[in-house]
Structure 1
Amino acid sequence: MKPKWLEWAKQLQSIAQAGLTYSKDIYDLERFELIRKISVEILTQNTNMDNKIIKELFANETGYATPKVDIRAVVFSGNKILMVRENSDGDWSLPGGWGDIGLTPSEVAVKEVKEESGFDVKAIKLIAVLDKKCHPHPPSPYHVYKIFIQCEIIGGKPKEGIETDAVEFFVENELPALSIARNTESQIHIAFKHLHNPQEPVYFD
Structure 2
Amino acid sequence: MARIDHFNNPDAPKANSVVPSTTAVVTDTEGRILLVHRVDNGLWALPGGGMELGESIEDCAVREVKEETGLDVEISALVGIYTNPNHVIEYTDGEVRQQFSLCYTTRLLGGTLAHDDESTDLQWVQPDDIAALTMHPSMRLRIDHYLTGNPAPYLG
Q: Quickly name the TM-score band, shorter chain normalised.
A: 0.7 to 0.9
CA apart distance, 1:133 = 3.4
Compute the TM-score of the two structures, normalised by the length of structure 2.
0.79
1:79 equivalent in alignment to 2:31? yes
CA distance in 2, matches of 1:4, 1:189: 25
Report how many aligned residue pairs link the two structures.
142
Secondary structure at 2:145 match in 1: helix
CA distance in 2, matches of 1:170, 1:192: 13
CA apart distance, 1:139 = 6.1
Q: Is the 8 A contact 1:121 1:153 kept in 2?
A: yes
Compute the TM-score of the two structures, normalised by the length of structure 1.
0.61
Determine which structure has more spread, i.e. the larger CA radius of gyration.
1
Q: Is the 8 A contact 1:3 1:139 kept in 2?
A: no
CA distance in 2, matches of 1:110, 1:188: 18
Q: Is the 8 A contact 1:70 1:96 kept in 2?
A: yes
CA apart distance, 1:191 = 1.4
Residues 120-153 of structure 1: CA deviation (Å, up to 9, x unaligned): 111111110011336xx57643222110011111
CA distance in 1, matches of 2:32, 2:109: 16
CA apart distance, 1:5 = 5.0
**Percent same amino acid among aligned pairs?**
22
CA apart distance, 1:185 = 1.6
1:177 equivalent in alignment to 2:143? no
1:2 to 8, 16, 22: 8
Q: Is the 8 A contact 1:132 1:146 kept in 2?
A: no
Say which structure is richer in strand: 2
1:162 to 117, 129, 144: 117
2:70 maps to 118
Say which structure is richer in helix: 1
Which ranges in structure 2 are unaligned for 5 or more consecutive residues?
1-6, 91-95
1:186 equivalent in alignment to 2:138? no
CA distance 1:90–1:3, change in 2 (3 Å): closer
Q: How do 1:84-103 and structure 2 match up within 5 A?
A: 84-103=36-55
Which ranges in structure 1 are unaligned for 5 or more consecutive residues?
11-57, 59-65
